Homo-oligomer: A and B are copies of this chain.
Amino acid sequence: MSSKVPVAGKLNDVIFYSIDKAIRTYRQYAQKQLRDHGFDITIDQWLVMKALLENPGIKQQDLAGMVFKDNASVTRIIELLVKAGYLERTVHQTDRRMAKLTVTDKGKGTLRDMQPVVNNNRKRALKNIDEDTILLAKNMLDQVTENCKH
């Protein structure tokens, strides 16, 4: 009797393969949609901006954790966002090691304009999948995250 979900075996049978493939395919699709709608911004840049808007005054380190990116990656993403005029960066009042990051009006406007496209991407990606399944999968994935977080 063989297991239905082999731990090892053909790549295709491994759940992690499905996870990786799903998120990559989704990101490709979403990125292309944004591009086709005239937005010159990457998914990662969007994510960082969004997280900043939802958590004003957050420090870069926490921001990195929130978008599960490396500090170094966040530094470079922020550089580009500042250069593009979506973010403003000033030194923190009380702790000069930190940067105070604010989403500019241009950034907010872009986020607002992008939202319909983002919503549509998600809707499209979740077509023919019912909410219970999504919730179950989300819990399962969050458990994987927990299991791997040392």
Contacts and interface: CB of A to CB of B under 8 A. Distances in A.
A1 interface: no
Contact of A22 (B8, B123, B129, B142): B142
Given A10-B54, A128-B147, A133-B136, A20 B23 contact: yes
Copy number in this complex? 2
Contact of A11 (B10, B18, B23, B51): B51
Contact of A68 (B21, B131, B135, B136): B21
A14 interface: yes
Listed from nearest, the 10 A-B pairs whose CB atoms lie closest are: A29-B148, A22-B141, A137-B137, A18-B141, A22-B144, A25-B148, A137-B140, A25-B145, A19-B23, A18-B138
Interface of A: 3-5, 7-8, 10-11, 14-16, 18-26, 28-30, 47, 50-51, 54, 66-68, 115, 118-119, 122-129, 131, 133-138, 140-145, 147-150
A145 B22 contact: yes
Contact of A141 (B3, B5, B137): B137
Contacts of A10: 54
A137 B138 CA distance: 8
